[in-house]
Amino acid sequence: MTITRQADYAVRLVLCLSRTDGRKVMTVDEVSKECFIPKSFTAKIFQRLSHAGITSSRRGVRGGFVLARNPRDISLLQVVEAIDGPLEVNRCVIDNTNCDLNATCVIHPVWVDIHRDIVHKLKSVTFEYLRNQPIPNSIS
């Protein structure tokens, strides 16, 4: 399982909007500069986030994007899946028809447990939690 660059960008975009309580309308230019994300990616990601009901757009001179929901109601899982689709530790976890050995495979229950743990963790981390975390001074 890999979180794509687009999903990472999406997390950063939603976090940026969350830090304004999701109420400030921000343009693609503002967000792309603040988050160090190419403008072309920013616009495409906002489209997908809007389609998933995470952000919404405002038209006009003072237009841009805002969060469609409160940051406490948006999880990391929702943002990642809005961009990358359902998480998949192993294909057999999502779709049992991908492997004929599921009934006799000793590793299958392990993949299921790992998948459940990852999904649970990503569901439990909200953008309200993230926006309240101190920004590290440096990366160790």
Residue 104 one-letter amino acid? T
pLDDT tens digits, 5-30: 999 999 999 999 998 866 788 999 99
Please report, for residues 14, 35, 52, 103, the alpha-carbon distance to residue 130 in angstroms, rounded to integers and kept in the order given. Answer: 10, 15, 20, 40
Distances (CA, A) of 120 to 34, 99, 115: 30, 24, 8
- Higher per-residue pLDDT: 100 or 44: 44
In sequence order, the 6+-apart residues with CB closer than 8 A to the CB of 119 are 77, 87
Question: Domain residue spans in the chain?
Answer: 5-86+126-131
> For 62-115, how does the pLDDT look when each residue is reduced to its tens digit (9 = 90+)?
788 999 999 999 999 999 999 999 888 777 777 666 677 767 788 888 888 988
Q: Is the pLDDT reported for residue 137 higher than 80?
A: no
What is the C-alpha separation between 131 and 129, in angstroms, rounded?
6
- SS3 state of residue 7: helix
Across 31-45, average pLDDT: 92
For the domain spanning 5-86+126-131, the CATH number is 1.10.10.10
Give how far Cα 129 sits from Cα of 12, 16, 53, 76, 102, Å.
14, 13, 20, 10, 37
